[in-house]
Structure 1
């Protein structure tokens, strides 16, 4: 019989972060890819309709781990270090933050991390020296198999060879992270400690790779094209009650060719790209099933809070063309990128993508499961209040009874900006008083109540009422100058406070919104 820890007063906590998953890619968020295990978490738990990330990989990870905005943690962009004169752009977690692991260790938790780290390992910042008792991690992502050039693994802070006897033979990273997470949980159970597992998948990030027999299951299923699948997902989202039917579907990105204009050879290529992506997501779902099964076998599932989110919206890189390289697309030697057409589907019902601060770039699925804590009549329902990735630290601290410190290791700690979501999970109201902010590559936004002020790099500010227009189709800035000016002032104060700087690179455009609006008006 498995050890039963139901009498344990503090819940165990699992935070699952996936990489580059669009808002609608899961079945429980409108998608057609089979994700029964994640859907079951949603059925037994709660779904956020308004959960937000920080628009990109490294910034979202920094915000999740520290509970402050990415710039405050030292990762205002990615991994490049701009030097001491640019504290928001050091490319690694700074010492003015505490991680969720450091925080929960102080509350008696056994802390575990598996997966993609990507917050400064080349600069010496590792899971092992930022509070995690046990870890199997990759410094960054970009691989699924051990024979890939990007595959580098570290076990408890020490480099481990990809073919080490301590690892399964011919491992696949999505399975590996879960297997070692469960293995480390055994040690927590032995020590009779509650545990935190931060499970950071590199799926479904490029280069998309999956077992070829699993890819074949999806071949031919996407020949109808991206426009039809987007409309299909939109209708399913309305049927699920996930979105308001008054929120219209934005015009399809005019930079992406219409499916009917493609040759049969091109259609076959794009069908194959999406089949590979679907196989990656399907295998990710299987790993969540393995996680839940393992927790149940250990007798700890009912008293475990599971939070599931993505680090940004769908990934349109590198272009509308995608990338389709290799003799056997989807194997460990191939280089597969989804591209804009299918990323547009992934971000349904929103427009824009990863990198950007319109809803398609910053809106993510957000699922919470807690068998012992979610009321039976609330299971399977939606939470419509705003939640942000900075809230995760405050939430797990609240569950753990951990006190956020003013100093840590003799360093003054930046106050957390997140708020605990525990009241929402318990069926209560959340009184969020402060706005939520974004800045990445000059793309910016502020959200206060139903009002969102947003602009991509070099654009003029736009104002949207997300209660009436979550898909951001009607810019009402000229009709609401007082609200717009208030939000502009708040944003500028925040921008200075976090030491943000103008983006020096060229704007990264994936969506020609002005052209799309013109086309939509003609239709």
Structure 2
């Protein structure tokens, strides 16, 4: 059991948009992640499960989220696919790797139900067990097992992204006490709302976003083309639709130039705080990379970076300032300066989320590309030799388990703690790391009755209240040309495949109690 096996560093951002990173076309300063991308491999068509809980369940288990019991959030809906916690029929990455001699650490966000990280295979944990909370309040973040050493912060010094990194570095240092490799799941809660960041970070971006979301979308699109993240002929999608939380208000994101100047200033500040959170996260990732590099461990560490869903549009173009009521407050004059501080609470709304998803359709929650597409960076100098290359083949969070089992030689169990374990759904990414050809695959999606299926170049997508739509993703990644009426037989075939998957994985029967997915 020696360090010749790779360390595994799996970094997950929270609500990061597809085009936010500089290496994926964004204007936010992310030099550390961009360097990882330049020295590693970027995947442009890698999928999550549209929302934080389902994506995390899939990432940890190698199963579709409904199979793991977390098809929605952490409420128990009393059907097998929607229990709201990781079921006994799945095994986590931490459980698999711990059995094989790895140290297993989680610093950051858990959010997959009542059975916590220590119960599911992690040796050490620091962070938040739930979904979101203040970045400034130390009391919201805990250390497990209880009594283990943790950092102390003076009044006004605590900021969650920094603290999560502080403890991650402690965990890595602890792993060096013996020759066993480590698995570190570094699950930042940035840039999830509440949008909060140090003033010096926010100040970098206030002028940047004064041009508004229409111009930002145009500029990102051109950079993405230049970087070859998207095809040269990719159009800018129309401004996306939005729905409120109760789905009784529906509209289109407005043109930036149509917005009142006071409202523009409020919105600029919201996006500046968001960008500051991403910037600060990148700085902290840089701290971890520097530590690994300085200890001579970078070459034999597999680093994976991704986001748990698309950009967060909750719940209209203006954003909210109160999670319970989703109320929006227009900030003016001196109130603008307070935004992002300990006593404030903001989201940035659907207009900016539309920009952060450039050029894809929709956002978090949805089975369209903007909801389920993540930037994925893979870096492993000993094995990933495709430095700076871009890979357009589709993949999914279900692939992380298969990949990590493959590269570590760990054993994926048929039985664990007396329970039969479902077989892995994913495929190893190692052939892609090596540039080898891989067969065509099929991926399916459902969250809150927003659905999708990707098979080769074809994609069926469905918003809850609407009919299925058919797209050729090879030449229409932005899902703007619905071919449903042109290929009716194909639509029916894909729908049947999706329905078979839904029955097999536990999407049914709950989804049928509210909406019939058959047209």
Give the alignment's TM-score, normalised by structure 2: 0.91
How is 1:325-336 mapped onto 2 (pairs within 5 angstroms)?
327=335, 328-336=338-346
Q: 1:340 aligns with which of 329, 344, 350?
A: 350
Asked if residue 490 in structure 1 is aligned to residue 501 in structure 2, the reply is: no
**Structure 1 residue aligned with 2:482:** 475
CA distance in 2, matches of 1:298, 1:341: 43
Q: 1:177 aligns with which of 164, 168, 184?
A: 164
Asked if residue 444 in structure 1 is aligned to residue 414 in structure 2, the reply is: no
Q: C-alpha offsets along residues 423-442 of structure 1, whole Å, 9 cap, x if unaligned? A: 11122222244x11100001
CA distance in 1, matches of 2:315, 2:463: 18
Asked if residue 130 in structure 1 is aligned to residue 117 in structure 2, the reply is: no
Whether the 8 Å contact between 2:17 and 2:310 is mirrored in structure 1 is yes
CA 444–38 in structure 1, closer or farther in 2 if over 3 Å, else same: same
Q: 1:401 aligns with which of 392, 409, 416?
A: 409
**Gapped regions of structure 2 (runs ≥ 5):** 242-251, 322-328
**Structure 2 residue aligned with 1:319:** 316
Asked if residue 291 in structure 1 is aligned to residue 300 in structure 2, the reply is: no
CA distance in 2, matches of 1:10, 1:430: 25
Whether the 8 Å contact between 2:150 and 2:167 is mirrored in structure 1 is no
Whether the 8 Å contact between 1:322 and 1:337 is mirrored in structure 2 is yes
Q: C-alpha offsets along residues 175-213 of structure 1, whole Å, 9 cap, x if unaligned? A: 111221121111211111111000111000000100112
Asked if residue 502 in structure 1 is aligned to residue 499 in structure 2, the reply is: no
Whether the 8 Å contact between 2:239 and 2:254 is mirrored in structure 1 is no
SS in 1 for 2:29: coil
CA 454–22 in structure 1, closer or farther in 2 if over 3 Å, else same: same
More deviation, 317-326/8-17: 317-326
CA 159–87 in structure 1, closer or farther in 2 if over 3 Å, else same: farther
CA distance in 1, matches of 2:383, 2:206: 41
How many equivalent pairs are there? 489
Asked if residue 430 in structure 1 is aligned to residue 452 in structure 2, the reply is: no
Whether the 8 Å contact between 2:70 and 2:86 is mirrored in structure 1 is yes
Asked if residue 110 in structure 1 is aligned to residue 97 in structure 2, the reply is: no
Whether the 8 Å contact between 1:220 and 1:272 is mirrored in structure 2 is no
**Structure 1 residue aligned with 2:368:** 358
CA root-mean-square deviation: 2.0
**Structure 1 residue aligned with 2:302:** 305
CA distance in 1, matches of 2:147, 2:320: 31
Q: C-alpha offsets along residues 146-192 of structure 1, whole Å, 9 cap, x if unaligned? A: 437xx5233223389xxx97334322111111221121111211111
Asked if residue 453 in structure 1 is aligned to residue 460 in structure 2, the reply is: yes
CA distance in 2, matches of 1:387, 1:257: 33
Give the alignment's TM-score, normalised by structure 1: 0.90
Q: C-alpha offsets along residues 124-160 of structure 1, whole Å, 9 cap, x if unaligned? A: x111111111211311242353437xx5233223389
Q: C-alpha offsets along residues 462-485 of structure 1, whole Å, 9 cap, x if unaligned? A: 111100111111111222233222
**Structure 2 residue aligned with 1:245:** 232
How is 1:39-438 mapped onto 2 (pairs within 5 angstroms)?
39-83=34-78, 86-120=79-113, 123=114, 125-147=115-137, 151-158=139-146, 166-169=151-154, 170-253=157-240, 255-323=252-320, 327=335, 328-375=338-385, 378-433=386-441, 435-438=442-445
